Amino acid sequence: MKVPFRRDHSGPPPPTAPPEGALRVGALADVPEGTVRRIADRPAIALVRHGDTVHAFEDRCPHAGALLSRGTVAGDEITCPSHRGIFRVDTGKSLGDFNCRALRTYAVAVVDGIVYVDTCARAPRDAKRGKCPDAETRATGRSA
Ligand code: FES
Q: Which of 44, 48, 23 is nearest to 34 (CA)?
A: 48
The 10s digit of each residue's pLDDT in 16-55 is: 777 788 999 999 988 889 899 999 998 899 999 988 899 9
Locate the ligand 1 atom nearest the alpha carbon of residue 96 and give its number: 3
CATH number at residue 132: 2.102.10.10
| Res 129 pLDDT > 70 | no
Closest CA to 28 of 112, 135, 144, 130: 112
Tell me: pLDDT of 128 over 60: no
As for how many domains the chain has, the answer is: 1
Is 3 inside a domain boundary?
Answer: no
Q: Enter the pTM of the model.
A: 0.76
Residue 61 has pLDDT above 90, yes or no: yes
pLDDT of residue 143: 46
Is there a domain that residue 87 lies in?
Answer: yes
Dmax over CA atoms of the chain, in Å, equals 55
> Pocket residues for ligand 1 (CB within 6 Å)?
61, 63-64, 66, 80, 82-83, 85, 98
50 part of a folded domain: yes
Whether 2 is in a domain gets the answer: no
Domain holding 27, by residue range, is 23-140
